[in-house]
Structure 1
Amino acid sequence: MYYNSLDEQYKCPVGAVKLGEKIEFFIESPDTLEAYLVIKRDDMPYVSVPMQKAEKNGKFGFKTEFVPSEAMLYFYHFQINEPRETKIIQKNYDIDYQLTVYEDFTVPKWYKNAIIYQIFPDRFYNPFKTPIAYKPNSFIYATWKDKPMNIINEKKELVRQDFYGGNLYGVIEKLDYLKLLGIDVIYFNPIFESNSNHKYNTKDYHKIDSMLGDEETFKKLIAEAKKRDIEIILDGVFNHTGDDSEYFISAKKDKSSKYYSWYYFKEYPNVYESWWGFDTLPKVNCMDESYQNFIMGEGNSVLNHWTSLGVKGWRLDVVDELDGSFVEKFKANMRKVNEESVLIGEVWEDASNKTAYSQRKKYFMGHQLDSVMGYPFKENVQNFLNGNINGYQITENFKTLWENYPREAFYANMNLISTHDTPRCINVLNFDETNFKSAVTVQMTFAGVPHIYYADEVGETGQMCPDNRRGFPWGEENEEILNFYKKLINLRKNNNIFVDGEIEFFYLNDDVFSYKRYFKDDPEKVVYVMIMRKNTLLSLELKPMTVFEYFSGETIKCGYGTLNHNFDKGCYIISTYPLN
């Protein structure tokens, strides 16, 4: 018995399928009496579909066809009835195969072609000697080099806010630096009025935080970024507000307030539902009609206000906690304002089958998200380089993601290695610069959209927050790492195969992660990427090609036949044609 869901001989088409598309299944089982495709829609019981005996490319078994009726997840396995027993073919032990069925959608090309740079505004740059504004009950670090810290009491409650003073003026001044680096998109952590440095506790959705600038500053930033072909994506925190917001204060003061229905009061006015139990973050009822109108309705809604100024996309914070209909409506209204805008979600797992609060999410069914933050990408790459998983495991993990995601979603995935919520990649990799460069190389040669967390490109370090939110080390950049980033970004931008090319994963060795990029209509042009987490002897069957080693500059000329070579630890890019 044999079945391979990633081989067109056994499942055609492979991967996720569009709604209404016919799927052909074939299993090898020459001596079987009968076979069934046992399949279920996510919300329905299993049904058994009889399969017909068939021969395919000299192999004997059973085939059937299936046309899904809804855009949603399906799960399936095969039941094989033999003379003396019944057998089951599943993906892995008792785990069924997943079939993602989606309504066709397209992610704007500018986004899929982009390099994203994430900026935590307070920590990026301040062109002035002092902050442009101050917050009550807070302190300003004496120098930009000071390490961030939380001031907490005996109950481990944050009792004082801390700031460096970075602002939008500083971002404007550093736009040429970002352009030279090769950045196409700036994704900002929240910039709306708030009493914190991170600003995930919004006070006023229609106002730029005073420590960052004002709306005129933001308009200038948009204009200057446009001159450099850099787009702006904002962080939308719509699951909760700050407890000092006008909205919550009004709701808490008067039940007749127009904001009262926004919140979940348990014992009015002092007991209410909050995000993960933090009283400073009262949770919002995102299904409340007045709240939805405020966020994304007609007129001067939050969505309309900022998108009309030139914002090209939004990242939805804790999107798992927002109802799917809210996300769908936000996406539809966003596209009405700008049909080329993108919607990204904060999802930490495989976003194709995410379940949260007893609700199966439909992020990639065609009407919700364009992209998600690629935490599975990060975890797989770092776990492999640290020796926590081997070459076979990372290969299978990425095959599963590729199979589960619609192609548009996979090629729009935000491929990250550090964020404001995780330790910096260099720390996770135990300060091993060779492995760090390997992680960056995967980012820049993989399918999806590379994401750079500010200052990663200059070798900044940092453990879990707040340490991962240090001030950008201007004047103390690691030039070797910075130049390496520039080199790999240029490689991606100058060779479209890394952006649009197909990707295929293959296993070579437990200490090697490898994949190839290619175009279906130009099979002679192929690029192979190999990540060695330690020195590895490999025997490779090669056509004439060149091995580019991006650490020592070593070049190995290869003729026909077998190459036996002891590859040093690091990343190798092998191309069958000259790369630009």
Structure 2
Amino acid sequence: MKIPWIHHDSHQSFYRTPFGAVTCQHRVSFGLSVEDGEEEIYQVALRLWTDQEGEKLLSMRLVESINNQQIYRLVFDLPSYPCLVWYYFIITTNTSTYYYGNNPHQQGGIGQVYLYQPPAYQITVHKENSLVPSWFKSSVMYQIFVDRFFNGSEDGRIMNPKPGAYLYSDWNATPSYIRDQKTGAIVQYDFFGGNLAGVIKKLPYLQSLGINLIYLNPIFESSSNHKYDTADYKKIDPMYGDHEAFQSLCEEAEKLGISIILDGVFSHTGSDSIYFNKNGNYPGLGAYQSTVSPYYPWYRFEVYPDQYDCWWGIDTMPNTNETEPTFQGFIIHDEDSVLQHWMDSGAKGWRLDVADELPGSFIKALRKRMKEIYPESILIGEVWEDASHKISHGESREYLLGEELDSIMNYPFRHILLDFILGHFNSKEVHQAFMCLYENYPRHHFYATMNLIGSHDVPRILTLLGDAPPESSLSKEEQGLYRLSPEQKKKALKRLTLLSLVQMTFPGVPCIYYGDEAGVEGYSDPLNRRTYPWGREDQVLLTWYRKIIEIRRQYDALSTGDWISLPIHEDIYGYMRCIECQRDIFGENKKNNRIFVFINRSLHQEIPLTIDVASFGDQPWMDILHDSHEFSVLDSKLNISLKPLEGKIIVQKL
């Protein structure tokens, strides 16, 4: 059977307009082209689906024929409520029924013909006026794991060490977990002594780097070094300082134009906490000790008291019941709620740990209260996938529909770039993956994603870029001892300059994981949580980070300008950032910029590029990374070349 040529491209305005996510009740035009062939077309239908209303089958109208192609169109008003709309096409002929849907990778753009029900295209329908505060979109963020950043104590001693804690005398020692050999459970936590006073003392360093937003890993009291097992939501861990130390941090940071956001760990607490009190270390009755405890409704017991719902089966982290009114009141609604307490103390927002394990109703209530306390506050969610259509625990999440998150941790950004730089993706595949996010995310969210290339939950980026042996091939002891060879490190550093170049010039909010800018190496936790190497930083890399962050600040287009993806060569990925008008997409007056960004991932090949710039006039362009070298426009073409592992930022002189 000869399958007829059928075509739809959700990235092209001829086939769907407007592009991407839209607001409620927006009118969308759909187009499909079908070749004139041997089969007679009886009907072309658009099949739409929403979870709320189910299926709609709408007949499309033949509007014109172009070069032996019949063009069918339909205009449809999207629902009046936030949701995801899914669609594909059904083409019925005198002999067969064909379906045209999304491509097998479900990345949008050009789809394909199927003989069965195909994967659908997605349209994200979001609330109107659900914008992200502009100060956040222009930020450069820095993530700090406090124990490993800097000890600011005047005498250099570790503050208020916990009973049984393992304390390092050598700041540069290798961290490790001390586990029970039979169960694998952690029996002793190690500490280096970083504290909030240390963060305060290093604020000038962060300012010099170009940072204006700090994300702190959890700082509330807990028995661990990572603090994801909260013991008291309203108390700073004594090893880090106290309430006054946090207030001082916020005040001193604000003087330097730096904001502070906190890590909110609300899906679970610690078993060794005021609320659960399994170890009996706190006064009063915890949920583990008595069913009459005021905290008992916060948890789900299967067989009281020793069998209870806990995070990933780890019994030191009992899960909370976030829909329990007294828990929501304590975290969100009470006069001195956790939100109110810390935002009154200076916090400008929160990062939600494991957002996909929090009910949507909880996130909505939390965000609503945050905005009442401080309208310009920011709520970031830990989401590892495309956040527009995430499903967790059987629930379709509504993170980006207008009532939940302002931003998400953009792990897909990291995965895409790593796959490209390490040779697993070519530039076309990078383009398709980024275009998928661009199409699915509301515009204001795409420009506010937390763009990271390192975090406390993944191996250090330098180790991965140096082609280190797979983690699974080494024992824990071997992982702790492993260091890149000089040749590996040289390659890794060149690759990191390319990734950080993209990170600082791509739509979204770049986030540096402490120490990445200084050349820290390490496999997964705990080796990715090594101390910051004060006095042993890679100064060349540090200078590079300062330079690229300054360039981001210098050119408005790099934070708010339009973005056009350019998969120009298999080994070269690039894009254009541009502001064509004095008033940009966020309603702010901006300087006109037109900027090309390119990176060459090839280890050995210099690659020439010819770029058609006819629509931009004949003004010269300059390479701002390399002594502002100028390129003339000849016959409406811009000719450049990229050396192996080289990146360029080419700015038009206006």
Return the offset for 1:564. 5.7
Q: Secondary structure at the match of 1:350?
A: coil
In the aligned structure 2, how far is the partner of 1:91 from the partner of 1:29? 16
Q: Secondary structure at the match of 2:230?
A: coil
1:416-446 superposed Cα distances (whole Å, 9 cap, x missing partner): 0000000111111114211110000000000
Work out whether residues 631 and 639 of structure 2, in 8 Å CA contact, stay in contact via their aligned partners in 1. Answer: no
Aligned to 1:558: 632
Percent of counterpart pairs with the same letter? 39
Q: 1:211 aligns with which of 239, 251, 259?
A: 239
Aligned to 2:589: none
In the aligned structure 1, how far is the partner of 2:444 from the partner of 2:609? 35
Is 1:299 aligned to 2:335, yes or no? yes
Is 1:568 aligned to 2:643, yes or no? yes
Q: Secondary structure at the match of 2:58?
A: strand
1:238-261 superposed Cα distances (whole Å, 9 cap, x missing partner): 000001101112111111111000
Return the offset for 1:78. 1.3
Is 1:320 aligned to 2:359, yes or no? no
Q: 2:84 aligns with which of 73, 81, 91?
A: 73
For residues 525 and 565 of structure 1, do their structure 2 counterparts lie closer, same or farther at Cα, with a shift above 3 Å needed?
closer
Q: 2:288 aligns with which of 252, 274, 279?
A: 252
Q: 1:533 aligns with which of 587, 601, 618?
A: 601
Work out whether residues 151 and 197 of structure 2, in 8 Å CA contact, stay in contact via their aligned partners in 1. Answer: yes
Aligned to 1:180: 208
Aligned to 1:421: 457
1:282-337 superposed Cα distances (whole Å, 9 cap, x missing partner): 11001101000000112111011001112100001001000000000000011110
Return the offset for 1:520. 4.5
Select between 51-60 and 500-509 the one with higher mean Cα deviation: 51-60
Return the offset for 1:547. 4.8
Is 1:24 aligned to 2:29, yes or no? yes
Is 1:98 aligned to 2:103, yes or no? no
Select between 394-403 and 147-156 the one with higher mean Cα deviation: 147-156
Select between 91-100 and 135-144 the one with higher mean Cα deviation: 91-100
Work out whether residues 611 and 639 of structure 2, in 8 Å CA contact, stay in contact via their aligned partners in 1. Answer: no
Return the offset for 1:33. 4.7
User: Match of 1:478, as an amino acid?
Assistant: D
Work out whether residues 35 and 50 of structure 1, in 8 Å CA contact, stay in contact via their aligned partners in 2. Answer: yes
| Aligned residue runs from structure 1 range 29-68, under 5 A | 29=34, 31=36, 32-55=41-64, 60-68=70-78
Return the offset for 1:566. 4.5
Work out whether residues 547 and 575 of structure 1, in 8 Å CA contact, stay in contact via their aligned partners in 2. Answer: yes
1:112-143 superposed Cα distances (whole Å, 9 cap, x missing partner): 11000000000000123111211011111121
In the aligned structure 1, how far is the partner of 2:195 from the partner of 2:65? 64
Return the offset for 1:460. 1.3
| Aligned residue runs from structure 1 range 205-284, under 5 A | 205-249=233-277, 250-284=286-320
Return the offset for 1:576. 2.1
In the aligned structure 1, how far is the partner of 2:520 from the partner of 2:102? 41
In the aligned structure 1, how far is the partner of 2:103 from the partner of 2:229? 43
In the aligned structure 1, how far is the partner of 2:305 from the partner of 2:356? 27
Work out whether residues 240 and 274 of structure 1, in 8 Å CA contact, stay in contact via their aligned partners in 2. Answer: yes
Select between 27-36 and 196-205 the one with higher mean Cα deviation: 27-36
In structure 2, the gaps of 5 or more residues are: 1-5, 105-117, 278-285, 467-488, 585-591, 614-618
Work out whether residues 181 and 486 of structure 1, in 8 Å CA contact, stay in contact via their aligned partners in 2. Answer: yes
For residues 179 and 554 of structure 1, do their structure 2 counterparts lie closer, same or farther at Cα, with a shift above 3 Å needed?
closer
In the aligned structure 1, how far is the partner of 2:65 from the partner of 2:26? 21
Aligned to 1:120: 145
Work out whether residues 42 and 75 of structure 1, in 8 Å CA contact, stay in contact via their aligned partners in 2. Answer: no
Return the offset for 1:518. 1.4
Select between 427-436 and 157-166 the one with higher mean Cα deviation: 427-436
Q: Secondary structure at the match of 1:203?
A: strand
User: Match of 2:275, as an amino acid?
Assistant: Y
User: Match of 1:42, as an amino acid?
Assistant: D
Is 1:545 aligned to 2:570, yes or no? no
Q: Secondary structure at the match of 1:392?
A: helix
Aligned to 2:529: 469
Return the offset for 1:477. 0.9
User: Match of 1:315, as an amino acid?
Assistant: R
User: Match of 1:133, as an amino acid?
Assistant: N
Select between 263-272 and 541-550 the one with higher mean Cα deviation: 541-550
CA RMSD after TM alignment: 1.8
In the aligned structure 1, how far is the partner of 2:66 from the partner of 2:322? 54
Select between 231-240 and 420-429 the one with higher mean Cα deviation: 420-429
Is 1:152 aligned to 2:183, yes or no? no
Aligned residues: 577
Return the offset for 1:68. 1.7
User: Match of 2:642, as an amino acid?
Assistant: F
1:464-519 superposed Cα distances (whole Å, 9 cap, x missing partner): 11011111100011111111111110111110001110111122122111111112
Select between 461-470 and 65-74 the one with higher mean Cα deviation: 65-74
User: Match of 1:557, as an amino acid?
Assistant: F
Select between 120-129 and 343-352 the one with higher mean Cα deviation: 120-129
Return the offset for 1:542. 4.4
Is 1:394 aligned to 2:421, yes or no? no
For residues 81 and 538 of structure 1, do their structure 2 counterparts lie closer, same or farther at Cα, with a shift above 3 Å needed?
farther
In structure 1, the gaps of 5 or more residues are: none
Is 1:110 aligned to 2:146, yes or no? no
User: Match of 1:260, as an amino acid?
Assistant: Y
Q: Secondary structure at the match of 2:379?
A: strand
For residues 306 and 564 of structure 1, do their structure 2 counterparts lie closer, same or farther at Cα, with a shift above 3 Å needed?
closer
Work out whether residues 16 and 100 of structure 1, in 8 Å CA contact, stay in contact via their aligned partners in 2. Answer: yes
User: Match of 1:545, as an amino acid?
Assistant: P
Q: Secondary structure at the match of 2:54?
A: coil
User: Match of 1:530, as an amino acid?
Assistant: F
Is 1:164 aligned to 2:192, yes or no? yes
Aligned to 2:472: none
In the aligned structure 1, how far is the partner of 2:571 from the partner of 2:343? 46
Work out whether residues 71 and 101 of structure 1, in 8 Å CA contact, stay in contact via their aligned partners in 2. Answer: yes
Return the offset for 1:192. 0.3
Work out whether residues 542 and 560 of structure 1, in 8 Å CA contact, stay in contact via their aligned partners in 2. Answer: no
1:5-42 superposed Cα distances (whole Å, 9 cap, x missing partner): 11122211100010111111122225355311111013
Select between 50-59 and 83-92 the one with higher mean Cα deviation: 50-59
1:58-97 superposed Cα distances (whole Å, 9 cap, x missing partner): 9750111111213111111112233433322212143211
Is 1:85 aligned to 2:115, yes or no? no
Work out whether residues 542 and 558 of structure 1, in 8 Å CA contact, stay in contact via their aligned partners in 2. Answer: no
| Aligned residue runs from structure 1 range 130-145, under 5 A | 130-145=157-172
Aligned to 1:452: 512
Q: Secondary structure at the match of 2:174?
A: coil
Work out whether residues 497 and 518 of structure 1, in 8 Å CA contact, stay in contact via their aligned partners in 2. Answer: yes
Aligned to 1:15: 20
Select between 351-360 and 456-465 the one with higher mean Cα deviation: 456-465
In the aligned structure 1, how far is the partner of 2:64 from the partner of 2:559? 38
* TM-score, normalised relative to structure 1: 0.96
In the aligned structure 2, how far is the partner of 1:35 from the partner of 1:142? 74
Select between 87-96 and 138-147 the one with higher mean Cα deviation: 87-96
Q: 2:403 aligns with which of 357, 367, 375?
A: 367
User: Match of 2:177, as an amino acid?
Assistant: N
Aligned to 1:488: 548
In the aligned structure 2, how far is the partner of 1:68 from the partner of 1:482? 49
| Aligned residue runs from structure 1 range 327-366, under 5 A | 327-366=363-402
Work out whether residues 252 and 269 of structure 1, in 8 Å CA contact, stay in contact via their aligned partners in 2. Answer: yes
In the aligned structure 2, how far is the partner of 1:575 from the partner of 1:223? 38
Select between 127-136 and 251-260 the one with higher mean Cα deviation: 127-136
